[in-house]
Chains A and B, each alone.
Chain A
Amino acid sequence: MHITRRHALGMLGASLLTGCAMTGGDSSAPASKAPAGKVTPDNPFGVADTGSAELAYFKGGSPNYLAESVEPLLQKKFPKVKIQRTTTERMAQTLQPRFVGGNPPDFIDNAGADALNFGALLQDGQVLDLTAFYDAPSIDDPSKKIKDTLLPGSYDSTLVDGVPYTISFVARSFGLWYNANLNLEAPKTWDAFIKLCEELKKSGVTPYGFAGKNAADYQAEAILTSAVKAGGLELARAIDNLEDGAWQAEGVRQAAEAWAEIGARFSDKSFEGLIHTEVQLRQNQGKVVFYPSGDWLESEQQKTTPNDFQYTMTPTPSLTSSDKLPAVAVYALLGSSMFATAKGKNPAAAQEFMRLMVSKAGARAYTEASGWLTTVPGAADGLDLSPGTLASQHALAAAGEANALITWRWNGWYQPLLTEIRDATNALMFGRATAAQFTERMQKKADEVKADPAIKKYKR
């Protein structure tokens, strides 16, 4: 058909009427749902072996391990389902319009600097309630529910007001990373840490560094880990629940003071203007010794790590001898930011995909491909893990045994707090603010968030 001018104008007119970013009423009735298949013990969500399923992934610097290790399992089980794979680096820009339009993908691996705001999606009813998913039988042991087969505590970390919305899949530890070949004795106490830093400084290297330009949150997490070690897991809970004065608790103040000293004496002012890869590169070059990060650091730096550099990690040292948690306590990131959408066309397939992820076969394939640990116990046993991942695995195991896995949720729940702590951390670590000003500033922001009726509050 030829498009005449009249047609073109007509189309423009139509888009003028329907192309609004926001329409008045709720017109988000989902488009045609995929046909339902038969529910069997092996197919608890009733996936039909027809139609299509769309899985959307964040496209980072590394290969798409999840898609490559688990998609084949789904395809094998349902050979006639057409699996559409959507990958993007800019999650929010690409997928937000799909939510507004009422045709989101079925499964989303939501990550990256430009991730979709999960809280906002949740508030809007766009995220599928996974209660039935976690109650479904595990693939490896059908007599158990999925939630009972995962690492202890990882199911709880997915709960929002008592309802699970994300799949608890990835297990990561966060601590101070350094080169194992330096043969340092990992400091367990703060005094030992300071002493070690003094020695390192004398030898002409920068003992400690983080990137202020875009990764101040790594340092904020280190400060908060120290704070929770001193003040106990209740402190993390109090901060998450926006309790009055939580940020001004003694533990936070102690931690801020201790870290401010590290920043003032053992870091480098220029790091405030560098991005994470620039500081990480300096660590690879042996110019910086300790760097706070999660256990993705090793694979992120693969290309620039010299042969004589072997990543290892130690938990943040204890602040005082009266810390409530032991020295092995470690900040852990359990769970994931992956979820199924409530208004997608094929929620059954999305859930089956996640069920395959947390099967031993799926998790093992994922760890094997990516080198990252999962919440599926034993799935990585016997795999040839890298030194950094092994260090992380040991840290998680030791902390798990001591019941000292530190987790918190505020940074995902309350974006304004996260924005604030980045600035506040830089001010603290680069000598523009005292510990008292840091805690006061964070408390003020937390109070603002608490008083803001437009922000949905969560409890745990």
Chain B
Amino acid sequence: MRRGGFLFIAGFLAAPVALYAVLVIGPYLQAFQIALTNWRGVSAGADFVGLDNFARIFQDDMFWKALRNHGQMLLAVPLITLGMALLFAFLLNVAGRRTKGLRGSGFYRVVFFFPQVLSLAAVGVLFQLVYRPDESGILNRLITGLGLEPVGFLTDPSLALWSIIGVMIWSGVGFYMVLFSAGMAAIPTEIYEAAELDGAGRFRVFFSITVPLLRNTVQVAWVYLGIAVLDGFALVQVLSVNNGGPDGVTSVLGLQVWQHAFGNSTFGYASAMGVVLFFIIMSITVLTMRVTRREPLEY
């Protein structure tokens, strides 16, 4: 490449890279720095306290409660969301005769995608009404209509986390359905035709052809969902009782970072928690990629 051309390209790249450095990398690095201090968020200076904040995090009951909640969500949300998304995508694309999908699939495709159009906060507010614990709640109106006691979806400690997991799944399925649909469209139709000629039924086609060939897409989706679940801040903040209650059963790390930073004004501690969360997300991502890695398939 000519030298002038190189400068030209570098000139275009400089601005976005600089923006990225200032707005993303910079704050990350600063969080690492602040995590080692007792900064309270209001002054220009702070004392260096070494790894003190980290030692305290590991003795914090709420931290372990949040980790347990994340664990439960990490098991439930990706599995159910991806399972449902795969099923829906399959039904909409290849389930019917030939490779057309079920009747009305165009309509369903749009409907399934609706939740993705709403912002997470709006979804939270919507589900406040769905889960409302008295008879004005959408679900509880049905339940009390049947003559049963209203259910405290968000106040019963054994139900609260599952209620929030339900919202995560509801709002996620549509997007992954579209993602998998795109993945399925990339699978050559000859393979399906060959399978049909060989007499494979829908289930056989799904498990022996669609799922294996979507492996990479599912893997990426799993990582995305893992990260989404390790966040969870917006939904928990809008929906849960007392920010992460009752009694911390819906608390997530993101929420605790926020509470420590803006409630208790312990930015140092909050940043340390953010750093821990960063490493948890990185480890889970790397782990997912490693465990599910296979040789790419050529077709």
User: A residues bordering B, Cβ < 8 Å?
Assistant: 5, 8-9, 12-13, 15-16, 19-28, 92-93, 96, 99-100, 102, 114, 116-117, 119-121, 123-126, 212-214, 216, 268-274, 415-416, 419, 422-423, 426-427, 430, 432, 454
| CB-based contact B241/A426 at 8 Å | yes
A100 to B34, CA, bound (A): 14
A272 to B33, CA, bound (A): 40
| CB < 8 Å neighbour of B155 from A22, A272, A419 | A272
Complex interface: chain A residues within 8 A of B150 (CB): 270
Residues of A within 8 A of B21 (CB): 16
B154, A273: Cβ atoms closer than 8 Å: yes
The interface bits of chain B over 248-278 (1 if a CB of A lies within 8 angstroms of the residue's CB, else 0) are 1000000000010011111001000000000
Known contacts A274-B133, A454-B266; is-contact A269 B155 (Cβ 8 Å): yes
Q: A19-B26, A126-B43, A270-B133 are in contact. List 14 more A-B contacts (CB 8 A).
A: A12-B22, A13-B18, A19-B22, A28-B43, A100-B43, A116-B42, A117-B263, A124-B40, A124-B43, A213-B241, A272-B241, A273-B134, A273-B152, A426-B242
User: For residue B157, which residues in chain A have a CB less than 8 angstroms away from its CB?
Assistant: 432
Say how far B121's CB is from chain A's closest CB, in angstroms.
15
B259 contacts which chain A residues (CB < 8 A)? 419
CA gap between A216 and B246 in the complex, in Å? 11
If A15-B22, A120-B40 touch, whether A415 touches B263 (CB-CB below 8 Å) is: yes
The smallest C-beta distance from A343 to any residue of chain B, in angstroms, reads 10
- Where the two chains meet, the residues of B that have a C-beta atom closer than 8 Å to any C-beta of A are 11, 14-15, 18-19, 21-22, 26-27, 30, 33-34, 37-46, 131-134, 140, 150, 152-155, 157, 241-242, 245-248, 259, 262-266, 269
B247 lies within 8 A of A432 (CB): yes
Q: Contact at A423–B40, with CB atoms within 8 Å? A: no
Contact A427 B246 (CB under 8 A): yes
Q: Select from chain B the residue with minimum beta-carbon distance to A454.
A: B38
Which A residues touch B265, using CB under 8 A? 117, 119-120, 415
Q: Which 9 A/B pairs are nearest by Cβ-Cβ distance?
A: A120-B265, A273-B133, A270-B133, A117-B265, A272-B155, A270-B134, A124-B43, A26-B45, A120-B40
Name A19's closest neighbour in chain B (CB-CB): B22
Distance A12 CA – B152 CA, assembled complex (angstroms): 51
Write 5 A-B pairs (CB below 8 A) sorted by A numbering: A100-B42, A124-B40, A212-B155, A430-B246, A454-B269
Q: Are A117 and B241 in contact (CB under 8 A)?
A: no
Residues on B with beta carbons closer than 8 Å to the beta carbon of A92: 262
Task: Return the contact of A22 from the options B18, B19, B46, B152 (Cβ within 8 A).
Answer: B46
A102 to chain B: closest CB distance in Å?
Answer: 7
Residues A274 and B242 in contact, CB atoms below 8 Å apart: no
- Chain B hits for A28, CB < 8 A: 43-45
Identity of the chain B residue whose Cβ is nearest the Cβ of A424 in the assembled complex: B247
A124 touches B42 (CB 8 A): yes
Q: How far is the CA of A419 from the CA of B264 in the complex (A)?
A: 9
Choose among B11, B157, B266 the residue with the greatest number of A CB atoms under 10 Å from its CB: B266
Contacts A5-B11, A12-B19, A19-B22 hold; do A432 and B246 have CB atoms under 8 A apart?
Answer: yes
Contacts of B247 in A (CB 8 A): 423, 426-427, 432
Residues of chain A contacted by B245 (CB below 8 angstroms): 422-423, 426
For the complex formed, measure the closest distance between the CB of B23 and the CB atoms of chain A, giving whole angstroms. 10
Judge whether B44 and A100 touch: CB under 8 Å.
yes
| B252 CB, nearest partner CB in chain A, Å | 15
Return the chain A residue nearest B18 by Cβ.
A12
For the complex, what is the distance from the CA of A28 to the CA of B41, rounded to whole Å? 13
Q: B14 near A9 (CB under 8 angstroms)?
A: yes
- Most chain A beta-carbon neighbours within 10 Å: one of B11, B39, B131, B133: B133
Q: How far is the CA of A425 from the CA of B153 in the complex (A)?
A: 19
Q: How far is the CA of A203 from the CA of B22 in the complex (A)?
A: 65
Closest residue on chain A to residue B247 by CB atoms? A423
Which residue of B40, B44, B241, B242 contacts A102 across the interface (Cβ within 8 Å)? Answer: B44
CA separation between A216 and B38, bound complex, in Å? 30
Q: Give the CA-CA distance A96 to B42 in the complex, in Å.
A: 6
Q: How far is the CA of A123 from the CA of B265 in the complex (A)?
A: 11
Partner of A422, one of B14, B15, B152, B242: B242
- Across the interface, do A9 and B15 meet the contact criterion of CB distance under 8 Å? yes
> Is the Cβ of A214 less than 8 Å from the Cβ of B19?
no
Q: Which chain B residues lie closer than 8 Å to A20 at the CB level? A: 26, 30
Note all chain A residues with C-beta closer than 8 A to B242. 212-214, 216, 422-423, 426
Task: Report if A16-B241 is in contact (Cβ < 8 Å); known contacts: A5-B15, A22-B39, A419-B259.
Answer: no
Question: In the assembled complex, which residues on chain B have CB atoms less than 8 Å from the CB atom of A269?
Answer: 133, 152, 155
Q: How many angstroms between the C-alpha atoms of A174 and B19 in the bound complex?
A: 51
Please tell me if the beta carbons of A16 and B22 are within 8 angstroms of each other in the complex: yes
* A residues in contact with B34, CB < 8 Å: 21-22
* Cα distance, A432 to B248, chains bound together (Å): 13
B44 partner residues in chain A, CB cutoff 8 A: 22-23, 25-28, 100, 102
Shortest B260–chain A CB gap in Å is: 10
- Shortest beta-carbon distance, A416 to chain B, in Å? 6
Chain A residues with Cβ below 8 Å from B46 are 22
Cβ–Cβ contact B45 & A25, under 8 A: yes
Q: In the complex, which residues of chain B have a beta carbon less than 8 angstroms from the beta carbon of A100? A: 41-44
For A23, list chain B residues within 8 Å (CB). 44-45
Asked if B241 contacts A212 (CB within 8 A), the reply is yes
Closest-by-CB residue of A relative to B22 is: A16
Closest B-chain residue to A441, C-beta based?
B247
Contacts of A430 in B (CB 8 A): 155, 246
Chain A residues with CB under 8 Å of B269's CB are 454
Complex CA gap A288/B81 in Å reads 41
Most buried by A among B15, B18, B38, B41: B41
A134 to B26 CA separation, bound complex (whole angstroms): 45
Closest to B21 in A: A16
CB distance from B96 to the nearest CB of A (A): 43
- In the bound assembly, the distance between CA atoms of A234 and B39 in angstroms comes to 34
Which residue on chain A has the smallest CB distance to residue B140?
A270
Of the candidates A22, A117, A426, the one whose C-beta lies within 8 Å of that of B246 is A426
Query: In the complex, what distance in Å separates the CA atom of A268 from the CA atom of B245?
Result: 18
- A270's partner among B37, B43, B152 (CB-CB below 8 A) is B152
Q: Let me know if A272 and B133 touch, CB within 8 A.
A: yes
State whether A423 and B248 are in contact (beta carbons under 8 Å apart), knowing that A22-B34, A28-B44 are contacts in the complex: yes
Complex Cα–Cα for A422 and B241 (A): 10
- Tell me the nearest residue of chain B to A279, going by C-beta: B134
Q: Given A9-B15, A22-B34, A212-B155, check contact A274 B246 (CB 8 Å).
A: no
